[in-house]
Structure 1
């Protein structure tokens, strides 16, 4: 990355602007609008907007001259530099910290997909709409990805949180241990740092990545789920098996420990996860590839939509084939022991729902697939 001291040294005040600052600001704008392709406006990194509002090129020039660049914006994460080659990103993160989860990189991919979807400057001025909760959570994460931990480092707040949460998971830390560690690290950082003080504050910034799931107790023999009409039952209505682990009371009798179910089904609702595929214009377009995508070699089967089973389904369900956004999924299930060959007789039987609409290979600029 180039030395970007010119962004601040070349404009010490509104009345003092160097020729170098003007020339390099023009090059910065060329870079920004080239990366944004056909977008009329992009995020404005002036000290007034701080990458929270989108402005046209003309307005950006006025803002830069009047307000200057926002502090510490020497890495243009909102204007293309978050999208560097994946190998380079992974290598740098591994060098910095072996357990880094790369959360800011995910945000970069998401921001790239939604670049052309944000409201224009005129739309923002005409009507300021309140974003939905999931969008608000994402923008909060985006802000933390751009906010440095403190003024003496280039590590972002979100990067730091990702590394520490990765460490917690790797070493199975308790919440009390993690909170104590955060308090110690926070006391060692310069005053005014942006490191959260607890696990609760750290995970709250990752809210946009969370997806809902439900834990449902079930019969250990697989007879019924303890939900709806059976939600209050303590024994299976068919085989009479106990819903909870039974412990010996010491008098020859057993009682249920209602804190420990015998068997649990974890249900991850598919609808919110499919909705996330339509959350951006880019991924929504990919969901229509099975119908609208171009096959560059029509003699080869490159997608399940080219198979006879798919075509037979279309023939039997004419209405389903007409709408390209209808989602088709494949189910896969198999059991495995997550603890390998140890004494604990524990197995998992996940059911995977695989969306078949998506293209078979990498997607490049909405045109080419390989």
Structure 2
């Protein structure tokens, strides 16, 4: 059957309409008693089923998917190897649609999931103009190239790998084995020379990443002040100098060449990554696990959903708990030396988000960790980590209000909400993230102003642990083994969130940044006229989380 009509730009000409009628006639004969057929238009791409009438309108208004040259879903039989059609496929490096290797790797299925969740929200909502549409022409063109690359053979005659599948596997090996960009480029050049001359293998790491550009998970590069005072974004985006320490935004280059920023924060947006989870039909089912499949045992803490904070949050925000797809996150951060050389004092701080909707054996796997921020060194950000957390906090506030997301399991769009509920860190990092002073006499955030301490020469010892024991415990009366005193006190009262916020409100005058021209000093506390301070505080800064 002649397929030249599907590539015509004028879809209202007689040639296109005649070819379309022949195609639909074949599809009707193939479907039998089924009411719907797959729609092969360039938007649906054989993912969705519609009536023949709707498919016809889609093909007229949107056009046929140009990569769908073997109509296996609509009744075309596999062409003979000696036929002209098969020769045409060979010339275009097309892979047989029944190739088992490609199906095993599910490359086509993954692309279809992402495509449908990204570009078809208007159809899913009945074509309402009020709904927010994800459709962008430039992104659509990139995605069209991805579909074509998923069907183009690595070289003529190769039936095992498409160019897209091969590059994805190579990049995966690069990550697993920590290959450098240079070594990866050298490997590509060797493979390109080894394969037939007309192979489609990219020649560099840059070209390989460019090949995957249509997937859409980007990284934002945000310039930062050398002294961690500000990020050059929003109202500071157009400045060349920091308004606080007056340091230049750029490294000195004597006016030659491209301007190089002093420091760059790498930010990986959270919204598209959460939306991508629901676009996958396999992963989307995990996002409901905590409510639909988790077996709750009384007195057993097997998942954060069994904890007090989860249940208290559900009581405070019942609308959030109604939909099991709403995401609960934890944040973890700590410094590390990326050069694996302790002689080099360089500290880089990644900020990782963990999704607790999933079962524990899934959420703790590395592929489901979200690297959100990569804070540059060379020194630890300390209390100035708030400066770098700003883009993440802005996005979390937006996610709490809700963003439209496509659920591939329910095949509909919904309003996705997300909340940050916990932080996971060691004690020094806890001080950086919370603002609590983790040194000195009142270092315990649980005991707060009831911290029991004792000076031991130039160190401080923390006592009073027996306060947390039951009232009739034998150790409460055994002072000889401890500090020589009988312990009758009750454990310190746990403060509410409102009381902690009141402690934070008495902190002011804290300037973020490591400005060398500013004299270091502690936080200034608000004073009430004629009265002593109303609330004790050991916070040195009112943190961005609050």
* TM-score (normalised: structure 2): 0.40
- The counterpart of 1:205, out of the listed 199, 207, 211, is 211
SS in 2 for 1:220: coil
Report the Cα distance in structure 2 between the residues aligned to 1:290 and 1:51, rounded to whole angstroms. 43
Report the Cα distance in structure 2 between the residues aligned to 1:152 and 1:320, rounded to whole angstroms. 51
- After TM superposition, the structure 1 = structure 2 runs for residues 100-119 of structure 1, keeping only pairs within 5 Å, are 105=105, 107=107, 110=110
Verify the 8 A CA contact 2:336 2:349 in the aligned structure 1: yes
SS in 2 for 1:290: helix
Q: Cα 1:226–1:285, aligned 2, differ >3 Å: closer, same or farther?
A: same
**Structure 2 partner of 1:216:** 222
- After TM superposition, the structure 1 = structure 2 runs for residues 32-111 of structure 1, keeping only pairs within 5 Å, are 55=73, 59=75, 63-64=77-78, 73=96, 75-79=99-103, 82=104, 105=105, 107=107, 110=110
Q: Does 1:263 align with 2:272?
A: no
Q: Cα 1:188–1:362, aligned 2, differ >3 Å: closer, same or farther?
A: closer
Q: Does 1:140 align with 2:148?
A: yes
**Structure 1 partner of 2:242:** 236
Gaps of 5+ in 1: 1-39, 83-104, 118-122, 124-128, 250-254
1:337 Cα deviation from its structure 2 partner: 1.2
SS in 2 for 1:217: strand
**Structure 1 partner of 2:308:** 308
**Structure 1 partner of 2:350:** 350
Report the Cα distance in structure 2 between the residues aligned to 1:311 and 1:227, rounded to whole angstroms. 37
**Structure 2 partner of 1:190:** 196
SS in 2 for 1:278: helix
Report the Cα distance in structure 1 between the residues aligned to 2:275 and 2:161, rounded to whole angstroms. 32
- The counterpart of 1:170, out of the listed 179, 187, 195, is 179
SS in 1 for 2:245: coil
Report the Cα distance in structure 2 between the residues aligned to 1:288 and 1:280, rounded to whole angstroms. 13
* TM-score (normalised: structure 1): 0.56
1:257 Cα deviation from its structure 2 partner: 9.7
Q: Cα 1:77–1:41, aligned 2, differ >3 Å: closer, same or farther?
A: farther
1:213 Cα deviation from its structure 2 partner: 1.6
Verify the 8 A CA contact 2:181 2:205 in the aligned structure 1: no
Report the Cα distance in structure 1 between the residues aligned to 2:341 and 2:205, rounded to whole angstroms. 34
SS in 1 for 2:179: helix
Q: Cα 1:324–1:234, aligned 2, differ >3 Å: closer, same or farther?
A: same
Report the Cα distance in structure 2 between the residues aligned to 1:313 and 1:227, rounded to whole angstroms. 33
Aligned pairs, number = 274
Verify the 8 A CA contact 1:216 1:265 in the aligned structure 2: yes
Q: Cα 1:260–1:346, aligned 2, differ >3 Å: closer, same or farther?
A: farther
Report the Cα distance in structure 2 between the residues aligned to 1:315 and 1:246, rounded to whole angstroms. 55
SS in 2 for 1:266: strand
Which deviates the most, 267-276 or 350-359?
Answer: 350-359
1:178 Cα deviation from its structure 2 partner: 5.6
Verify the 8 A CA contact 1:246 1:257 in the aligned structure 2: no
Report the Cα distance in structure 2 between the residues aligned to 1:64 and 1:153, rounded to whole angstroms. 15
Please report the RMSD computed on the Cα atoms of aligned residues, expressed in angstroms: 4.9
1:242 Cα deviation from its structure 2 partner: 3.7
Verify the 8 A CA contact 2:99 2:159 in the aligned structure 1: no
1:312 Cα deviation from its structure 2 partner: 0.3
Query: CA offsets per residue over residues 129-169 of structure 1, 9 Å max, x none?
Result: 9994575355234324xx24332674543455357666798
**Structure 1 partner of 2:276:** 276
Report the Cα distance in structure 2 between the residues aligned to 1:138 and 1:258, rounded to whole angstroms. 32
Verify the 8 A CA contact 1:148 1:156 in the aligned structure 2: yes
1:270 Cα deviation from its structure 2 partner: 0.8
1:301 Cα deviation from its structure 2 partner: 2.9
Report the Cα distance in structure 1 between the residues aligned to 2:70 and 2:270, rounded to whole angstroms. 32
Gaps of 5+ in 2: 1-36, 40-44, 47-65, 118-122, 124-134, 364-408, 410-546
Query: CA offsets per residue over residues 240-296 of structure 1, 9 Å max, x none?
Result: 34433357x8xxxxx999733332211111111111112133322322222222417
Verify the 8 A CA contact 2:101 2:160 in the aligned structure 1: no
